[in-house]
Amino acid sequence: MDTTGDPGATSASAPPRAQPPRPALVVTPLHDRRIDPGPTPRTLTAAVAVWAASFAVFACLAAALAADYDAVVAALDAGLTTDDPTADPTTVDQVSGLTVLGVGCIGLLLVLAGVLGIVRLRSGRGRGRAWLTVVGVFTVAAAVTSWSVLSDARDLAFRTPAWAPPLQAALVVAGTALLFTTSGSAWLRRRSIS
């Protein structure tokens, strides 16, 4: 049988055509979230910025108390003497001075703890959000306390003792709340896995 004119016929003498080798395909994702959690969400960036603003407000308070230290201590002395006229003036003066120093020292420690919390949050190591939440609770308590103990000096130092502690507390509450947004929580979860 002659099959030279039939294109569909195969020759018994010709070997079948071998398929060319397939290239090895490797599919890699463009963005592996287990390794790279992606860009930092805007809410966490805003949280860090709000915390930084609270640090700046405390710096204003500390600078104002340092600049008008004698006047602030004198105002606190007058308030304590009004509350207890029989109190020893030397003791009253020491208590007033220690009050101003205590506000500054405790506030500085809380600022340093807040900076450490931000570093832990950004690095993804440890529990930065939990750390900042605890520091936030203590900072709000310290701000309310300092606003209360400096009540006799609220008209001094550009009225900084009147507005700085409540503003600092409000900023800390807002910054801490921004840490618990949905996008921030998801990013922190991915960051802790990677």
For the stretch 34-86, pLDDT in tens is: 556 678 899 999 999 999 999 999 999 999 999 999 999 999 999 999 998 99
Identify which has the larger pLDDT, 1 or 163. 163
Q: What is the pLDDT of residues 92-141, one digit of tens each?
A: 999 999 999 999 999 999 999 999 999 999 887 668 999 999 999 999 99
Decide if pLDDT at 6 tops 60: no
* pLDDT at residue 126, as a whole number: 62
Q: How confident is the model at residue 4 (pLDDT cuts 50, 70, 90)?
A: low
What's the CA gap between 107 and 113, in Å, rounded? Answer: 10
110 domain-assigned: yes
Instruction: Give the number of domains in the chain.
Output: 1
**What DSSP state is assigned to residue 87?**
S
Q: What is the pLDDT of residues 13-40, one digit of tens each?
A: 667 788 888 878 777 666 555 556 678 8
Decide if pLDDT at 148 tops 60: yes
* pLDDT at residue 30, as a whole number: 61
Decide if pLDDT at 161 tops 90: yes
Identify which has the larger pLDDT, 166 or 3. 166
26 domain-assigned: no
* pLDDT at residue 1, as a whole number: 53
What's the CA gap between 135 and 113, in Å, rounded? Answer: 7
130 domain-assigned: yes
* pLDDT at residue 18, as a whole number: 81
Q: What's the distance, CA 101 to chain centroid?
A: 26
18 domain-assigned: no
50 domain-assigned: no
37 domain-assigned: no
On the CB side of 55, CA atoms within 13 Å amount to 18
What's the CA gap between 194 and 188, in Å, rounded? Answer: 10
Residues 169-182: what's their mean pLDDT?
96
Decide if pLDDT at 11 tops 60: no
Q: If we measure between CA atoms, which residue out of 41, 34, 64, 32 comes closest to residue 161?
A: 64
84 domain-assigned: yes
47 domain-assigned: no
Per the structure, the complete domain to which residue 184 belongs is given by: 61-193
Residues 159-166: what's their mean pLDDT?
96
Greatest C-alpha distance within the chain: 134
